[in-house]
Amino acid sequence: MDDDSVFYKKLPKVEVHAHLNGSVSAQTMEKLIQRKPHLNIERNMTAIGKGQRRTLDECFEVFKLIHKLVDTEEDIHTVATDVIKEFAVDNVKYLELRSTPREEKGTGLTKKSYVEAVIKAIQQCKYDGVDIDVRFLVAIDRRNGTEVAMETVKLAEEFMLSSGGLVLGIDLSGDPKVGHGRCLLPALERARNCGLKLSLHMSEVSSQLEESELLLNLPPDRIGHGTFLHPEMGGSQPLVDQVVKHNIPLEICLTSNVKGKTVPSYSQHHFRYWYQLGHPCVICTDDKGVFCTDLSQEYQLAASTFSLSPDAVWELSERAVDCIFAGEAVKQQLKQKWTEIKPGLLK
């Protein structure tokens, strides 16, 4: 590893946009493939390598394959444990994982046991002394419609109350070309009213203007992507004004957007627009397994593409702490960690 990469690796980081099944590493994928050889799935079918790009539709085909490989409580526990440890090795000090609870009739997996398996993995890592604070967001897959969204919120509510602060909120994700946010509003409003935080994928593709307006009125606590919100991308100034007025942080996933072809190149990424506005932006991975990246690499790409100095990179990672869903005490602990690490890293 060269000196430059070492800096990004050592940089303490916060990750708030990581889909569990999109984050499964090559090593873990090998384990899963060995457990289920009859599926005939090969590692190269579940990841998009260096220099490769796919359409977003093709990315969603990849998730279908991964879901076949991860369909028991044991699988969920394995992937959650491995993903948490990998983020910890990458010096991520605080992680919000998100995942869509799935039921699998064949294996007896239920949505409830799915969430329990993730929570057990988080607790086990904590018990084992893995140096990372992990929380969980329960994901709504937009394609499943009104009723499933409402059930998911109820499940999240239950776990928010019983998980000792591990379940903090709701993620809205899934294929952006399917379904409409309008149908999901009652569930999202319920979530907000019962104290669940909201991180919503918004304007990941163009032509979602009307939906974005609707969702922004909630308003969400964070926005995933927001690629097409601003006027230069076919969005609108009132949308930008609304995001700025409510100071809603953007979760920025550079490689995901470039490899998924919603953004033409790193240098044309909307991070530039929002960063120049001074708006809170959090660098994230989205799906580190599928897109073959890690958070250190994403910070390094942001720095090299947008000419950020080491001080600016440090500030970016430190300010991410303000955008987490955990409460003030956790933020203070993290800030303390950043303060302790800084002198050894920035001379």
Ligand X SMILES: CNc1ncnc2c1ncn2[C@@H]1O[C@H](COP(=O)(O)O)[C@@H](O)[C@H]1O
Q: How far is the CB of 322 from ligand X (least distance, A)?
A: 24
Show Cβ contacts of residue 186 under 8 Å, excluding neighbours closer than 6 positions. 146, 149, 150
Q: Return the range that interacts with ligand X (CB under 6 A); candidates 6-14, 16-24, 80-88, 339-347.
A: 16-24
Q: Which of residues 245-304 bind ligand X (CB under 6 A)?
A: 256, 260, 286-287
Count of positions on this chain that bind ligand X (CB under 6 A): 18
Kindly report the number of other CB atoms within 10 A of residue 70's CB atom.
26
Q: Token pair of 262, please? A: 């919603």
Give the Cα separation of 103 and 93 in Å (integer).
Answer: 31
DSSP string, 117-176: HHHHHHHHHHHTT-S-EEEEEEEEEGGGHHHHHHHHHHHHHHHHHHTTT-EEEEEEES-T
Which of Zn ion, ligand X, none sits in contact with 82, Cβ below 5 to 8 A by type?
none
Give the CB-nearest residue to Zn ion: 286
Residue with tokens 């953004």: 263
Exactly one of 71, 116, 211, 286 binds Zn ion (CB under 5 A); that residue is 286
Give the Cα separation of 122 and 134 in Å (integer).
Answer: 6
Catalytic residue check, 116: no
Kindly report the number of other CB atoms within 10 A of residue 130's CB atom.
17
Residue with tokens 């918004």: 202
DSSP character at residue 307: T
255, 293 in Cβ contact below 8 A?
yes
**Mask 100-129, x = binds ligand X (CB under 6 A)?**
x-----------------------------
Q: Return the range that interacts with ligand X (CB under 6 A); candidates 19-27, 125-133, 184-192, 274-282.
A: 19-27
**Mask 185-224, x = binds ligand X (CB under 6 A)?**
----------------x--x--------------------
- 133 lines the binding site for ligand X (CB under 6 A): no
Which of Zn ion, ligand X, none sits in contact with 20, Cβ below 5 to 8 A by type?
ligand X
**Mask 237-276, x = binds Zn ion (CB under 5 A)?**
----------------------------------------
Give the Cα separation of 191 and 218 in Å (integer).
Answer: 11
**Which positions are catalytic?**
204
- What residues line the site for Zn ion (CB under 5 A)? 286
- What residues line the site for ligand X (CB under 6 A)? 19-22, 59, 63, 99-100, 139, 141, 173-174, 201, 204, 256, 260, 286-287
